Amino acid sequence: MSTPIEIVALVVSRVHAFEGRPQDGPRPDPEPISRAEVEIRAGLGIVGDRYFGQKVHRNAAITLLDADSLNVFDPVPDPVLLRRNIVLRGFPLDTLAAARGSVGQRFSLDSGSGLVEFQAHRPANPCAWMNVVVGDGAMKALRGHGGIRSTPLTSGVLRVGPAVFELLD
């Protein structure tokens, strides 16, 4: 069953800004991380991202977040602050995460350039950095709603804007 959704943000970062101690603050990005379009390669991740092609991150090459999980905050923060690669609205992504020792759901996204298929894996649990970049209590508020880690199964392009989400068998 296809579900109309919206891709509200795409993030590509060549560096890991959340290193060291949260109280020291994030490292600055050498370039803007928000994108209007990303190129995804099967089994590798997002072209230009720090996790692209890294075997150790094969099952976590791309992170996704349900933008509605940010509605618990007032004001609602910019979803780019959480540094999840794909932020969408219209489907409860956290329901796709795998239980420990298993594999999550397969799904696809299509923003007009063809289907890109993904395999969901473990949750993208929030960390103490969320309290720094979003505000006090953010880590606790995002427990169970921090998104999912995934592997791209097919290659393609995704763009910010209207899209279609589909669960796969």
SS3 94: helix
Neighbouring C-beta atoms of residue 156, cutoff 10 Å: 19
What is the phi-psi region of residue 43: left when phi exceeds 0, alpha when psi lies from -120 to 50, beta otherwise? left
Note the pLDDT tens digit of each residue in 120-152.
999 999 888 888 889 899 999 999 999 999 999
For residue 118, the 8-state DSSP code is: E
d(CA 3, CA 7): 12
pTM: 0.92
Amino acid identity of residue 164, one-letter, is V
d(CA 64, CA 146): 9
Note the pLDDT tens digit of each residue in 54-108.
988 888 999 999 999 999 999 999 999 899 999 999 999 999 999 887 889 999 9
d(CA 53, CA 42): 10
The answer to whether 141 and 73 are in contact (CB under 8 A) is: yes
